[in-house]
A and B are shown apart, each in its own frame.
Chain A
Amino acid sequence: DGGITQSPKYLFRKEGQNVTLSCEQNLNHDAMYWYRQDPGQGLRLIYYSQIVNDFQKGDIAEGYSVSREKKESFPLTVTSAQKNPTAFYLCASSTAITSNQPQHFGDGTRLSIL
């Protein structure tokens, strides 16, 4: 079955620690995205990538970093510079940024501070 796999499902971060959230897709999609969702809030775009080895900052990129070395993979690192990392993180993909096709989401990673 094609889909988007995020891991881990739950993650705990200690003070001063960097943590990496995994996102893998087997949909052959060019575009991938990372969103943050806080309780009762909408989705806020952190980073997106249109193609391998290219990525762009979204609306709230500070304190986060990404890489796109393979088409299938778009990991997100939450750095120690992100002072309020507790949130639900969602990875999504679509055929292309410029298409009118919808984004499809993984199951999400819930990050909390220890």
Chain B
Amino acid sequence: QKEVEQNSGPLSVPEGAIASLNCTYSDRGSQSFFWYRQYSGKSPELIMFIYSNGDKEDGRFTAQLNKASQYVSLLIRDSQPSDSATYLCAVTEVTGGFKTIFGAGTRLFVKA
């Protein structure tokens, strides 16, 4: 069973701190990795994607990919209360046909 796993949280950080969200995946053939933010009662919104090992930065967000260890992480610098949401990790597998698997998400609370 191909899986994408995330700590459900909640992860609580003070305003201004760095929030670190982690995701592991089981299919070594995975090629594309995405982070979505989902506010309560709303649909997921794409915030980052990464395809190659290493770091990718976009504003306050940094995605990190380590294919050898099969994990992908999202760092949020200078966390704001408006960052409080559930963050979904999604991985596109190639083995057995292209399929995007979503993790169950990590709930993040940023305390003012």
List the interface of chain A (C-beta within 8 A of B): 35, 40-43, 45, 90, 97-98, 100, 102-108
Contact = CB atoms under 8 A, between A and B. Distances in A.
Contact of B100 (A40, A103, A107): A103
A49 to B, nearest CB: 13
Nearest to A6: B43
A36 to B, nearest CB: 11
Contacts of B34: 102-103
A65 B43 CA distance: 22
B49 A42 contact: no
A42 B51 contact: no
Count class of interface residues, chain B: 20 to 34
Interface of B: 8, 31-32, 34, 42-46, 49, 51, 88, 90, 92, 98-100, 102-105
Contact of A98 (B8, B88, B98, B105): B98
Given A102-B34, A102-B49, A90 B43 contact: yes
Given A105-B44, A108-B43, 16 more contacts: A41-B104, A42-B88, A42-B103, A43-B44, A90-B44, A97-B98, A100-B31, A100-B51, A102-B34, A102-B46, A102-B49, A102-B90, A103-B90, A105-B45, A107-B43, A108-B42
DSSP class of A's interface residues: helix, strand, loop or mixed?
loop
Nearest to B105: A42
Contacts of B88: 42-43
A90 B41 CA distance: 12
Contact of B104 (A42, A45, A97): A42
Contacts of B90: 102-103
